[in-house]
Structure 1
Amino acid sequence: MEGSASPPDKPRARPSAAVLCRGPVEPLVFLANFALVLQGPLTTQYLWHRFSADLGYNGTRQRGGCSNRSADPTMQEVETLTSHWTLYMNVGGFLVGLFSSTLLGAWSDGVGRRPLLVLASLGLLLQALVSVFVVQLQLHVGYFVLGRILCALLGDFGGLLAASFASVADVSSSRSRTFRMALLEASIGVAGMLASLLGGHWLRAQGYANPFWLALALLIAMTLYAAFCFGETLKEPKSTRLFTFRHHRSIVQLYVAPAPEKSRKHLALYSLAIFVVITVHFGAQDILTLYELSTPLCWDSKLIGYGSAAQHLPYLTSLLVLKLLQHCLADAWVAEIGLAFNILGMVVFAFATITPLMFTGYGLLFLSLVITPVIRAKLSKLVRETEQGALFSAVACVNNLAMLTASGIFNSLYPATLNFMKGFPFLLGAGLLLIPAVLIGMLEKAVPHPEFQQFPQSP
C-alpha cells in the first residue's frame, strides 16, 4: 500500500517507470531479429570476401567453372578461415553470455522485465555499431569478436528472449501459453524472412555498408521502445541488487531444490531436449551460407537471401499449423511431427547438389519450429510464477551453450569433411534430432504432477 512502511528485511516495491504507452513485447523481438538476420549472412559473406581478397581468390562468382573448383586449395582456405572466425565470435559471445544472461534473467524476477530488455537492446546496438566501423573503415575482422563480447556482456539476444518469454508467461494463462510462445517465435521468423529478402537484394545493389546502417537504426528504435513504450508485465517490481550470487543460486535451485521428483526430472529432460534442438538449428544455420556459397551450388547474394528467407518461413507456417493441430492433437505430438519434418529436411540438405533440391529441403522444414515453443511452454508450467525469469534465463544459458556446441561441432566438422562429404554435418544433425524425439515421447507418456502447474488465469 502506498502509505504503509515496508518491513526492514524486505525490498521496497519499485514503482514502474513512466511509459508513453503500454506496448507488447513482440515488436522488440521483431526489430531485434530483423537487425540480427540482416547482419548475420552479410557478416559471413563479408568475411568470405575479405579473406578471398587477402588470399587473392577471385573465383567466387565465375559460375561457369564452379563445378571444377571443388579441390581448389585457396577456396578451401577461404572457407576454413570464414568458418573459424564464425566460431571465434560465437565462443566469445558464449563465455561472457554464460555469466551475464543467467545473472540478468534471474534479476528480472525482482526488478522487472523492462530493465533487462533495455540492457539487451543496448548490447545489440553496440554490436551493430562495431560492425559498421569494421565495414566502413576496413578494420581487422577481430573487431567482430569484440562487438560480440560487448553484446553478450549486456545480455545479448538470449537475454532479450529470456525477458520476452518471461513477460509472455507473466500475462498468459496456462492454457494459452503454448500459442503465445509460438506467436512470439513467429514474430522472430517474420522479421528474419523480411530481413533475408531485403539483405540479399541490397547487398547486390549497394554493397555491405548500408544494410549495417539500417540494422543500427532499427536497434536504436528498439532501445527507445524498450525504455519508453514497453508495458512492464511483472506485477510488483522491486529494487533488487544486480551483482549477487543469489541470482545464480536461484537458477540452480530450479533443478535441485526439494520438489516432487517427477517435475524436476521433467524440467531437466525438457532442458536437454531443447538443448539438442537448438544445437542442430544453429549448427545448420552457421554452415548453410558457406554451403550455398561454395561448389556445387555457388549461390550469389540474391539466392542466399531467398534461402535465408525460406529458412525463416517455418516460424510463420509452424504457428498456423500449430493452431490447427492443437484442436485434435496434444502439443507433444505436434512437436514430434515437427521433428520428423526437420529430420527429413536435414537429410535432403546433406545430398543437395542443385538449387531446386536445396529449396525442397527448406520446404520440408515448414513445421520444424513448433518444437521450441512447445518445450518452452511445458517448462514454464513446471515452475512457480515467481521463477519465470530464472527459468528463461536458464533456457537462455542452455541456448548459449547449444550455440557454442553447435559452432564447435558444425564449424569444425564442416571444413574437416570437405574432401569426402560436405553434407555430412546435416546428416549428423538429423541423427541428433532423434534424441529430443525420444525424450518428448517418453515425457508425454509419464505425465508430471508438479505442485506449481496451476497458474492464476489471466483476465
Structure 2
Amino acid sequence: MVQREGAPGPPPPPPARRCPLSVEPLLFLAMFALALQGPLSTQYLWDRLGAQIGYNGTRERGCGNQSGPRDPLQQEVETMTAHWNLYINLGGFLAGLFSVMLLGPWSDSVGRRPVLILPAIGLALQAAIYLVVMYQKLHVGYFLVGRVLSGLSGDFNMILAGCFASIADTSDRRSRTFRVAILEACLGIAGMLASIIGGHWRKAQGYINPFWLVFAVNLVMLLYAIFCVQESVREKKPMKLFTSRHYMSVFRLFTEPGENKHRAKLCLYALALLLVVTVHFGAKDLFVLYELSSPLCWGSDLIGYGLAAEHLTYLSSLGGLRALQVCFRDTWVAEMGLVSNISGLVVISVATTTSLMFTGYGIRFLAMATTPVIRSKLSKLVDEKEQGALFASVACIEGISSLVSTGVFNSLYPATLTFMKGFPFLFGGLVLLIPVAIIGLIEICKPKPVYREFTEASIN
C-alpha cells in the first residue's frame, strides 16, 4: 500500500518491554544491602581498631552505677571508630556529590537504566573490596577506597534519584504521591529486615558470611537493573557525560524564573525537605543510644522491637496516606504527617518508661507521609525532561542532611544530658515547625482558579 505524501504515517511500534516489573524491587535490594552493610562495617572497625591498640573489652551499656573513670582504651577505640566512619562516609559523599550531579541530568537524555546500572556496579565493587580487606586483614583505610569507587559511580543516592525519577516518568500527577510513598515503604521494609537478619547473623557467624550476602544482593540488583528495569524516558538522545551543562542544568533548576513562581516554590519545598530529612536522620541516630542508657536500660530484644516500630512507620504512613487522600489534599496530609512526627518526638523526649517510649513510636505512625508528598510536589514543578536533574539535587540534599544531622544531633545529645536527656528530640520537633509553616503558606497563597472568566469564555 502506497502512502500519500503528507499523510500521517502509521504509529511507531511500542517499545519492547524487557520485564513487566518496575523499580521498587531494585530500591528494596539496594536499601537491604546498605542497611546490612552499615552496622557490620562499623562493628568491624570497632573490633579491628580495638585489636590494634590491645583493647578486648565491650562497650558499656550505661545502665549500671559506673562510679569509676571510663576505660581510656575504650574511649580511644570510640574516637578512632568515629573518625574512620567520618572519613569513609565523607569520602563517599564528596565523590557521590560530583557523580550524582553529573549522572542525574545525563539520565534525562540517555535514559534512567544506565544511571541505575552504574551505581549497582560500584556498590558490588565496594562490597568485594570490603570482603578482601576482611579476608586479608588489610588496613581499614582500604574501606575508603571501596567507598570512593562506589561514590564515583553514583552510590546509593544515584539509585534513589534514578528510581524516583523513573516513577515520576511513568506516573500521572494524581497517582504520583502514592507511587513515591510505595518507594519509601520499600526503604522501611528493607531496613527492618536487614537490621534483624544482620544482628543475629553477625552474632552467630561473625562478619564474613553476612558480607557475602551484601555482595550477592548487590549482584542481584545489578542483574535486575540490566534485564528487568524498563526504560521510562520516552525520547532518548545521545548526550556527553562529562560536560558542565549537566551541572548548569541543576543550577538553572533553582535560579531561572518560572511560571507562577514555580522556582520559588521549588526552593521552599527543597528547604522543607532538607529540614524534615535532617530531623529524621538525627533522631534515628540517637534512638538506640537513648534506649540503651538509663532510665530505659533496654536490652537487645527491646532494641530490636524499637527498630521494628521505627521502620513500621513507613508502612503505617503508606496506609494512612492512601486513606487520607480520599478526603484531603496532599498538602494537608503532609501537614498531618508533620504534626504526627512532632507529637511523637515530644513524647519520646520525656519518655522514662518502656510504655511511654512505644507510645511515642505509635504517635509517629504518620511521620513518613510528609516526604513522599514533598517529592511529588517537587516533581510536578519541573518539566518531564528535568526529572533526573531534580532528583539528583534531591539526593544531594539528603546527603547534606545526613552530614548536618550527624554533626548537630550527636553534638547536642551529650551537651544537654545535664538538664534534659531528651532535648535533641524536642529540638527536632521545634525544627519541624518550619516545614509546617512553609508547606501551609504555599498552599494558602496558591492562586485560585478564575471561574468567572471560564464561564464567560464558555458562553461566548
Normalising by structure 2, we get a TM-score of 0.85
Give the equivalent residue in structure 1 for 2:314.
315
Matches of 1:176 and 1:412, distance apart in 2: 40
User: How far 1:151 moved relative to its partner?
Assistant: 1.7
Assess if the C-alpha contact under 8 Å between 2:345 and 2:360 holds in 1. Answer: yes
User: How far 1:207 moved relative to its partner?
Assistant: 2.4
1:35 aligns with 2:33: yes
Deviation string 1:27-86 (CA, Å, 9 cap, x unpaired) is 10010011111122333344445555546362547x7x8322387533555555444443
The AA in structure 2 aligned to 1:283 is G
User: How far 1:361 moved relative to its partner?
Assistant: 3.2
Give the 5 Å matches for 1:204-243. 204-243=203-242
Matches of 2:14 and 2:267, distance apart in 1: 34
Give the equivalent residue in structure 2 for 1:174.
173
1:66 aligns with 2:74: no
Assess if the C-alpha contact under 8 Å between 1:345 and 1:365 holds in 2. Answer: yes
Further displaced range: 422-431 or 94-103: 422-431
Give the 5 Å matches for 1:112-191. 112-191=111-190
1:265 aligns with 2:281: no
Give the 5 Å matches for 1:1-400. 20-50=18-48, 54=53, 56=55, 58-60=57-59, 66-69=63-66, 72-74=69-71, 78-260=77-259, 262-293=261-292, 302-353=301-352, 355-400=354-399
Taking a change above 3 Å as real, the CA distance of residues 130 and 281 of structure 1, as seen in their structure-2 partners, is farther
SS of match in other structure, 1:24: coil
SS of match in other structure, 1:67: coil
Q: If you compute each CA radius of gyration, which structure gives the higher value, 1 or 2?
A: 2
The AA in structure 2 aligned to 1:97 is G
User: How far 1:327 moved relative to its partner?
Assistant: 0.7
Matches of 1:418 and 1:141, distance apart in 2: 33
Matches of 1:80 and 1:422, distance apart in 2: 22
Matches of 1:330 and 1:303, distance apart in 2: 37
Give the equivalent residue in structure 1 for 2:4.
none
User: How far 1:142 moved relative to its partner?
Assistant: 3.3
The Cα RMSD (Å) is 2.9
Assess if the C-alpha contact under 8 Å between 2:118 and 2:154 holds in 1. Answer: yes
Give the equivalent residue in structure 1 for 2:454.
none
Identity %: 58
Further displaced range: 242-251 or 397-406: 397-406
> What 5-or-longer segments of structure 2 have no aligned partner?
1-12, 450-460
Taking a change above 3 Å as real, the CA distance of residues 242 and 31 of structure 1, as seen in their structure-2 partners, is same
Give the equivalent residue in structure 1 for 2:436.
437
Taking a change above 3 Å as real, the CA distance of residues 180 and 27 of structure 1, as seen in their structure-2 partners, is same
Give the equivalent residue in structure 2 for 1:453.
none
Give the equivalent residue in structure 1 for 2:400.
401
Assess if the C-alpha contact under 8 Å between 1:197 and 1:306 holds in 2. Answer: no
The AA in structure 1 aligned to 2:372 is P
- Higher RCO (Cα < 8 Å, 6 or more apart): 1
Deviation string 1:157-212 (CA, Å, 9 cap, x unpaired) is 11111111110111111111111111111111111122222222222322232222
Assess if the C-alpha contact under 8 Å between 2:18 and 2:230 holds in 1. Answer: no
Deviation string 1:328-365 (CA, Å, 9 cap, x unpaired) is 11111111121122123333443445544443333332
SS of match in other structure, 1:328: coil
User: Which runs of 4 or more aligned residues in structure 1 lie more than 6 Å from their structure 2 counterparts after TM superposition?
Assistant: 15-19
